[in-house]
Amino acid sequence: MSATGVQQVVAEMLQPYLDQEGFELVDVEYVKEGGNRYLRVYVDKEGGIDIDECGRISEYLSDRLDDKDPIPDAYILEVSSPGAERPLKKPEDFRRAVGKDVYITTYEPIGGKKEFEGRLLSYDENELTLNSGKKTDVIPTDKVAGARLAIIF
């Protein structure tokens, strides 16, 4: 099964439990690093998630994966918070990030740059507006390669 297939199966398996318990599925990764495969599940909730909650989610998912056995390869399961520099992937992630500091990378240069960091001023399905303190940049959403919350010192 492809990495995308694994991610989709895991998300579908886990989503009803997360909805019931008030958690948000932030991301699912299935990657090979060195000689090991990792299934990483990032979960959050309003006010943050703690280690005990991650443990409960991990147990629930591990039991379901053992029952269904959808992943043919051996892997290491990790369930955690997305952290302070949470990735922004879905439109609602960007909407929640308006007014916060973000780090954006683009597929191609915009105004001579492919990396942007600053306060997210606005977001819609077509573009986002970011202010670095020195300048305001407007970035088309279809040019965004990656985005995350940023801690700016």
Q: How far is the C-alpha of 142 from the C-alpha of 153, rounded, in Å? A: 29
Is the full-model pTM beyond 0.85? no
> 108 with 144: CB under 8 angstroms?
no
**Residue 86: what pLDDT?**
87
Domains of the chain: 3-80 (3.30.300.70), 91-149 (2.30.30.100)
Q: How high is the pLDDT of residue 1?
A: 67
Low-confidence ranges of the chain (pLDDT < 50): none
Report how far residue 142's alpha carbon sits from residue 49's, in angstroms, rounded to the nearest whole number: 31
> What is 31-82 written as a DSSP string?
EEETTEEEEEEEEE-TT---HHHHHHHHHHHHHHHHHH----S--EEEEE--
